[in-house]
Amino acid sequence: MKTMIMADYLNRNGVVAERARRAGRSLDRIEQNIILAGRHMAKEKGVSRERINALEMDGERDWEKVLAPFHVEVVFAYYDEPFEEISAQPSYVIRESNHPGLPTGSHVCAEQLKDAGQAFPRTPSYQAWVRAGKKVVRS
């Protein structure tokens, strides 16, 4: 099971690298960190350098994944508590994603979604959230 997860992770590295190459750009900081983290985890598990390269090259040739548009399904999760001059900020959880910088299950703020070029889901106002008796998360 663990080797399948590692293979999927390294395969995704190849997809990320190929998408950047096709777009005619170099990898951004987030993409570089994702690739380096995957390689580091594989080395710790004892995967050989040749096997890492082979799995990444498989990802580069997986046209179904490389050419697929980014799909990120995001839902509102909670509000962060206001702090001094900073108003309450909504937080979202990612249900489904093929975006390298927005992994499934992670919590993101509106800024991160905007930076990745993703749309915002319906979000209740802070007043309606508090009036409904919902909890506010303290950072």
What pLDDT is stored for residue 122 in this prediction? 87
What pLDDT is stored for residue 3 in this prediction? 67
What pLDDT is stored for residue 74 in this prediction? 93
Per-residue pLDDT tens listing for the chain (139 residues)? 456 777 887 888 888 899 889 889 898 888 898 889 889 988 998 889 999 999 999 888 988 888 888 888 999 998 888 888 888 889 999 998 888 778 888 889 888 888 888 888 888 888 888 888 887 776 5
Token digits of residue 87: 């108003």
Let me know whether 57 and 80 are in one domain.
no
Count of domains for the chain: 2
Let me know whether 18 and 50 are in one domain.
yes
The region that residue 15 occupies, defined by phi over 0 for left and psi between -120 and 50 for alpha, beta otherwise, is: alpha
What pLDDT is stored for residue 10 in this prediction? 86
Let me know whether 20 and 39 are in one domain.
yes
What pLDDT is stored for residue 1 in this prediction? 42
User: Which of 37, 66, 95 corresponds to the end of one domain?
Assistant: 66
User: Which of 47, 66, 85 corresponds to the end of one domain?
Assistant: 66
User: Which of 39, 66, 93 corresponds to the end of one domain?
Assistant: 66
- The H or E element that residue 58 is part of is helix 49-60
Q: Is 92 exposed, middle or buried (0-12, 13-18, 19+ CB in 10 A)?
A: buried
Let me know whether 119 and 91 are in one domain.
yes
Per the structure, the complete domain to which residue 94 belongs is given by 72-137
Let me know whether 54 and 99 are in one domain.
no
Let me know whether 57 and 89 are in one domain.
no
What pLDDT is stored for residue 50 in this prediction? 93
Let me know whether 77 and 60 are in one domain.
no
Let me know whether 131 and 77 are in one domain.
yes
What pLDDT is stored for residue 138 in this prediction? 67
